[in-house]
């Protein structure tokens, strides 16, 4: 299959490109290296050493499992550039990770909020037009987020809910309560993709993904030149990855508030498995499918306790700190999200046992000398008017 991966230099995009290449697909990647710039601009860097895209691809092509990967350097916000790539590569599946993925980054300022929504909403809209005009039969696999739903006081369904209102029934998109301007951008994307499916007959799968953790995947383990990036800073590091890095370098774990905020989580290996399953089982023409892509639910405090236990087992001393929550989010809430569609397609979840946390800690140990500790503590507040006394 011809597979185009947007954001192919990123945390998930790079290992996804290798996975499809290892399976014998014809892979092309697009990236403008914005993630590298955003993280650098935040005074941080990937913990793992990552080469530039071209040498990385050359290392993969020299690998026994490797095959040719074509690369295109440019941004999805540039509609003419993207149109040219789609027309040239004629993908049968497009996996779209080419977005600004950080909730805190979107909340720094008006400028970063506008940048986030421009990159995400305009980029996605450009893609829909290019697919309509050049590859209307191709399958769009879009990385959405569980955060589109927020934390409603009812069970979260997979994309749609049957509603009975004033004696009439319909199946409608599940209500959205996004928790940051980044999450809002993903809601806007979902609306636009759904519209394109209904109106132009495109086929799409929105993967409403939970919080990802982990570093190594089958293709990247064993060859350091192929390792994916690993972020742990306040903006781009996801919570479990951050806690593991913090435990290894002796930084108190940064639990925001009480830590009872509950989210869906999944291992990076399962992200790749889910994307593969979605591509292998495409949506019908005109269909906008939504899969909730996570394997387990945890509260933030439960994760901190798991990391503390595993790290102490390895001889570390770990302190858990409860910081004043820089975000505006519910700390006590009901959370039960349905996630059966990917399991029905054959997903075999990688569960977060102590062994898995220990193996993540061991991988981080190899690179702990690269950690920039000053990038860890949170400074971005969702509502600056609510800053506690003494803080800017």
Catalytic residues: 145, 182, 186
- Does the protein bind ligand USQ through residue 300 (CB under 6 A)? yes
Pick between residue 72 and residue 265 the one whose CB is nearest to ligand USQ. 265
- Does the protein bind ligand USQ through residue 10 (CB under 6 A)? no
Q: How far is the CB of 348 from ligand USQ (least distance, A)?
A: 21
8: helix, strand or coil: coil
User: What is the Cα–Cα distance from 148 to 186, expressed in whole angstroms?
Assistant: 7
Q: Which residues contact 198 (CB under 8 A, 6 or more apart)?
A: 286, 288
Pick between residue 146 and residue 202 the one whose CB is nearest to ligand USQ. 146
Q: Among residues 221, 272, 213, which one has the least CA distance to residue 241?
A: 213
Stretch that binds ligand USQ, among 32-40, 90-98, 129-137, 258-266 (CB under 6 A): 258-266
- Does the protein bind ligand USQ through residue 211 (CB under 6 A)? yes
Retrieve residue 316's tokens.
């570390």
User: What is the Cα–Cα distance from 107 to 146, expressed in whole angstroms?
Assistant: 18
Pick between residue 228 and residue 238 the one whose CB is nearest to ligand USQ. 238
Pick between residue 89 and residue 208 the one whose CB is nearest to ligand USQ. 208
Question: Per DSSP, which regions of 157-236 are E strands?
Answer: 160-165, 168-173, 203-209, 211-213
Phi/psi at 18 (nearest 5 deg)?
Answer: -65, -40
User: What is the Cα–Cα distance from 35 to 38, expressed in whole angstroms?
Assistant: 5
Strand partners, 166: none
Q: Which residue from 12, 29, 50, 103 is in contact with ligand USQ, where contact means CB under 6 A? A: 103
- Does the protein bind ligand USQ through residue 5 (CB under 6 A)? no
- Does the protein bind ligand USQ through residue 238 (CB under 6 A)? yes
Q: How far is the CB of 194 from ligand USQ (least distance, A)?
A: 18
- Does the protein bind ligand USQ through residue 255 (CB under 6 A)? yes
DSSP-derived secondary structure letter, 10 = S
User: What is the Cα–Cα distance from 73 to 340, expressed in whole angstroms?
Assistant: 37
- Does the protein bind ligand USQ through residue 147 (CB under 6 A)? yes
130: helix, strand or coil: helix
Pick between residue 239 and residue 283 the one whose CB is nearest to ligand USQ. 239
Stretch that binds ligand USQ, among 79-87, 99-107, 122-130, 188-196 (CB under 6 A): 99-107
Our CA dihedral for 350, 356, 361, 363, rounded to 10 degrees, sits at: -60
Total residues binding ligand USQ (CB under 6 A): 22
Our CA dihedral for 224, 225, 226, 227, rounded to 10 degrees, sits at: 50
Q: How far is the CB of 374 from ligand USQ (least distance, A)?
A: 15
DSSP-derived secondary structure letter, 289 = E
Q: Are 228 and 11 in contact (CB under 8 A)?
A: yes
- Does the protein bind ligand USQ through residue 97 (CB under 6 A)? no
- Does the protein bind ligand USQ through residue 275 (CB under 6 A)? no
- Does the protein bind ligand USQ through residue 210 (CB under 6 A)? yes
Q: Given the rule CB under 6 A, which residues bind ligand USQ?
A: 101-103, 145-147, 209-211, 238-239, 242, 254-256, 259, 261, 263-264, 300, 327, 329
């Amino acid at each position: 299959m011809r597979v185009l991966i947007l954001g192919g230099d990123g945390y998930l995009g790079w290992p996804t490109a290798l996975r499809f290449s290892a399976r014998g697909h014809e892979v092309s990647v697009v990236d403008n290296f914005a993630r590298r710039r955003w993280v650098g601009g935040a005074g941080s860097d990937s913990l793992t050493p990552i080469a530039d895209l071209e040498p990385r691809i050359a290392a993969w092509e020299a690998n026994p499992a490797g095959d040719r990967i074509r690369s295109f350097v440019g941004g999805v916000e540039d509609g003419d550039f993207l149109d040219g790539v789609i027309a040239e590569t004629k993908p049968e599946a497009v996996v779209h990770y080419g977005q600004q993925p950080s909730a805190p980054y979107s909340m720094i300022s008006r400028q970063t909020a506008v940048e986030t929504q421009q990159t995400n909403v305009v980029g996605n809209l450009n893609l829909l037009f290019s697919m309509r005009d050049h590859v209307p039969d191709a399958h769009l696999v879009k990385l959405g987020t569980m955060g589109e739903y927020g934390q409603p006081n009812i069970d979260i369904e997979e994309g749609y809910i049957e509603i009975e209102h004033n004696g009439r029934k319909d199946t409608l998109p599940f209500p959205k309560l996004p928790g940051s301007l980044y999450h809002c951008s993903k809601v806007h994307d979902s609306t636009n993709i759904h519209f394109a499916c209904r109106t132009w007959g495109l086929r799409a799968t929105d993967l409403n993904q939970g919080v990802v953790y982990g570093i190594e995947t089958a293709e990247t383990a064993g060859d350091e030149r192929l390792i994916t990036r690993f972020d742990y800073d306040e903006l781009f590091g996801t919570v479990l990855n951050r806690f593991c890095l913090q435990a290894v370098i002796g930084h108190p774990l940064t639990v925001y508030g009480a830590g009872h905020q509950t989210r869906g989580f999944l291992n990076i290996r399962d992200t790749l498995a889910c994307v593969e399953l979605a591509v292998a089982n495409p949506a019908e023409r005109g269909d906008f499918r939504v899969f909730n892509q996570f394997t387990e639910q945890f509260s933030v405090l439960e994760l901190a306790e798991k990391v503390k236990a595993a790290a102490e087992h390895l001889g570390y001393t770990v302190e858990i700190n409860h910081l004043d929550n820089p975000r505006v989010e519910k700390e006590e809430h009901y959370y039960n999200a349905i996630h059966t569609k990917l399991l029905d397609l054959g997903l075999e979840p990688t569960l977060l046992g102590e062994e898995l946390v220990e193996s993540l800690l061991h991988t981080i140990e190899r690179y702990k000398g690269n950690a920039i500790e000053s990038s860890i503590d949170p400074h971005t507040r969702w509502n600056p008017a609510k800053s506690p006394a003494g803080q800017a």
